[in-house]
């Protein structure tokens, strides 16, 4: 975990309420370009359901993956009420996060099988979807660069384990091809090696076959496959196209 558990917990609350403020009173049918085929109502329902599911996992310190309900029973019939429903769920999540030992062992789909995994994951889900909503509404969508860089790290660390719900990730194979991701505004970079049998972070990778460079915020949006991130791409264009086609989840 790159940042402290308290940082994740307080950022979840802050990011959720930014999302609530941005969407309160907005038309639920507003399209969300960052999530093709979604409306604001879809985005809020997805974010709220995920937060509630993560909250249950943390409350129970689940030791194996439980079934995830498709629709929360408390979901309002009127989508205009979704922001309020999201805020209610965030309050419950915050209380569970306060009561949970971040080092408690539990099931997680990524490599870190501790409660802290879910705090970090909840933050990034909420932050990225807050940006999606603000951009859909034409609002300023600023991202703290430290959180953004941690989000890039979290994404690249966990992506090799995402195939159970994102099977296209299995298409990220190569002949020891290296992609380097560089933060232009922070001293952070990551190298991912695509092997014939899989892929993953390789801190000892040498020369990259392709490089993506941007400020931390733009780099986070790039790895999440959001349009218009402003990231600059260099090197093997086909390799980067393969990455973009198979890395989104």
Are residues 32 and 124 part of one domain?
yes
Per residue of the chain (249 residues), give pLDDT as tens. 479 999 999 999 999 999 999 999 999 999 999 999 999 999 999 999 999 999 999 999 999 988 876 667 789 999 999 999 999 999 999 999 999 999 999 999 999 999 999 999 999 999 999 999 999 999 999 999 999 999 999 999 999 999 999 999 999 999 999 999 999 999 999 999 999 999 999 999 999 999 999 999 999 999 999 988 889 999 999 999 999 999 988
In this structure, the answer to whether residues 90 and 189 fall within a common structural domain is: no
Question: Can you list the positions of beta strands (E) in 198-247?
Answer: 198-201, 210-214, 232-235
Residue-level pLDDT at 45: 96
Would the pTM count as exceeding 0.85? yes
**Which of 91, 108, 142 is the C-terminal boundary of a domain?**
142
CA distance 143 to 160: 25
Report pLDDT for 71. 60
Q: Are residues 191 and 101 in the same domain?
A: no
Domain boundary among 89, 123, 142: 142
Q: Give the pLDDT confidence of 209-243 residue by residue, as tens digits.
A: 999 999 999 999 999 999 888 899 999 999 999 99
Are 46 and 169 found together in one domain?
Answer: no
Do residues 82 and 45 make contact, with C-beta atoms less than 8 angstroms apart? yes
The string of pLDDT tens digits covering residues 73-91 is 789 999 999 999 999 999 9
Q: Please name which of 154, 158, 218, 146 lies closest in space to residue 182, comparing C-alpha atoms.
A: 218
Q: Which residue has the tokens 């509404």?
A: 137
Number of domains forming the structure of the chain:
2
What kind and span of H or E run contains 120? Answer: helix 115-136
Both 54 and 123 in one domain: the answer is yes
Task: Please tell me the distance from the alpha carbon of residue 176 to that of residue 167, in angstroms, as a whole number.
Answer: 21
- List the CATH number of the domain containing 172: 3.30.1050.10
Domain with 158 in it: 147-247
Residue 24 confidence (pLDDT): 98
Last residue of one domain, picked from the residues 142, 165, 189:
142
On whether both 30 and 112 belong to a single domain, the answer is yes
Residues 120 and 179 in one domain: no
Residue closest to 54 by CA, chosen among 118, 140, 98, 5: 118
């Amino acid at each position: 975990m790159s940042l402290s558990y308290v940082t994740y917990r307080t950022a979840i609350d802050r990011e959720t309420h930014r999302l609530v403020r941005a969407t309160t009173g907005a038309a639920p049918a507003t399209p969300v370009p960052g999530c093709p085929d979604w409306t604001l109502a879809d985005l809020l329902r997805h974010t709220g359901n995920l937060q509630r599911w993560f909250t249950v996992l943390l409350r129970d310190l689940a030791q194996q993956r439980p079934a995830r309900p498709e629709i929360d029973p408390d979901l309002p019939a009127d989508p205009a009420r979704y922001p309020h429903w999201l805020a209610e769920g965030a309050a419950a999540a915050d209380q569970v996060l306060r009561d949970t030992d971040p080092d408690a062992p539990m099931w997680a789909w990524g490599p870190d099988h501790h409660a802290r995994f879910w705090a970090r994951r909840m933050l990034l889900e909420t932050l990225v979807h807050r940006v999606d909503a603000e951009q859909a509404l034409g609002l300023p969508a600023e991202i703290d660069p430290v959180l953004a860089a941690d989000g890039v790290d979290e994404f690249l660390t966990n992506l090799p384990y995402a195939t159970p719900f994102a099977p296209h990730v299995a298409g990220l194979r190569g002949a020891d091809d290296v992609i380097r991701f560089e933060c232009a505004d922070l001293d952070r970079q990551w190298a991912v090696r695509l092997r014939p049998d899989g892929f993953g972070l390789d801190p000892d990778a040498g020369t990259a076959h392709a490089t993506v460079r941007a400020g931390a915020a733009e780099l986070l949006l790039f790895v999440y496959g959001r349009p218009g991130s402003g990231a600059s791409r260099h090197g093997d264009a086909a390799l980067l196209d393969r990455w973009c086609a198979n890395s989104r989840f």
